[in-house]
Amino acid sequence: MTQPAQQQDVPGTQSAMTPRPDCGETSYRGSGRLVGKAAIITGGDSGIGRAAAIAYAREGADVLISYLNEHDDAKETARYVEDAGRKAVLVAGDVSSSQHCKDIVAKAVEEFGKVDILVNNAAFQMSHESLDEIPDDEWEYTFATNISAFFYLAKAAVPHMQPGSSIIGSSSVNSDMPSPTLAPYAATKAAIANFCASLAQMLGEKGIRVNSVAPGPIWTPLIPATMPPEKVEKFGQDTPLGRPGQPAELAPVYVLLASDEGSYISGARVAVTGGRPIL
């Protein structure tokens, strides 16, 4: 797949992308892997979050979709969840706020009575060619959104989780092969992988599994919203598979890690990178 040069304002919307990402809307088929489970997915309005929400719903889970302000995208994702016969709960707001993270979990407990799956997926990035170009407040916001939110969400969710529950962090190939133009983002993605490894050991005695997924270049609204058009045009072409991945290609991994089929997978970092190695 190739994509034309394009630019959007942050945080970007899926409906404005050319071509539109494939989140499994027409292709994902469930087989009952998550029946009766309740999931929180941050950044669930589009991209990888939408793909996970669609897959989880079609596998039988109710889903709380946390998002910033992309209301149309979020409502569309909710429709896919409801069309699968599951409950969709929308919560708008900025996960860089610790209180908002606590409110997300409280809403899930209010609506579902429990939390079985927490997917920390919301992320912010911006491209910069030099250190001097990175504003201090942008550095702080990137960390607050990508890794501090994960801490607040996990801390709030764990008391409502039972043995067999699952926490999944969206890391990145940048955790292992950091791009110099995405330095703040790459640092947070390494922190997510590390935090997941710590949590897997800390929460093992509670029967809660914790893993991270390390996507490579995936075609999501974050790309045209945070990269210059000339980089968007070539996005993903430098992978061994020669193309960016689609969000739908991540969904099966998020399902496995959330399901009872992954009952002995904890402390793992699963690479979905189009051939870029994570060793």
In the set 28, 56, 67, 185, the catalytic residue is: 185
Q: Side chain identity at 268, as an amino acid letter?
A: A
List Cβ neighbours of 188 (8 Å cut-off, separation of 6 or more). 123, 142, 143, 146, 147
User: What would the CATH number be for the domain defined by 38-272?
Assistant: 3.40.50.720
Report which of 36, 60, 29 is spatially closest to residue 251, judged by C-alpha positions: 29
pLDDT per residue as tens digits for the range 68-77 = 999 999 999 9
Q: Please tell me the distance from the alpha carbon of residue 186 to that of residue 191, in angstroms, as a whole number.
A: 9
> Per-residue pLDDT tens for 53-106?
999 999 999 999 999 999 999 999 999 999 999 999 999 999 999 999 999 999
**Residue-wise DSSP of 67-93:** ESS-HHHHHHHHHHHHHTT--EEEEES
98-115 average pLDDT score: 98
Domain spans of the chain, in order of start? 38-272
Q: Which contacts qualify for 139-147: CB closer than 8 Å, 24 or more apart?
A: 139/184, 141/96, 142/184, 142/185, 142/188, 143/184, 143/187, 143/188, 143/191, 144/96, 145/94, 145/95, 145/96, 146/122, 146/185, 146/188, 146/189, 146/191, 146/192, 147/188, 147/191, 147/192, 147/195
28 is catalytic: no
Q: How confident is the model at residue 1 (pLDDT cuts 50, 70, 90)?
A: low
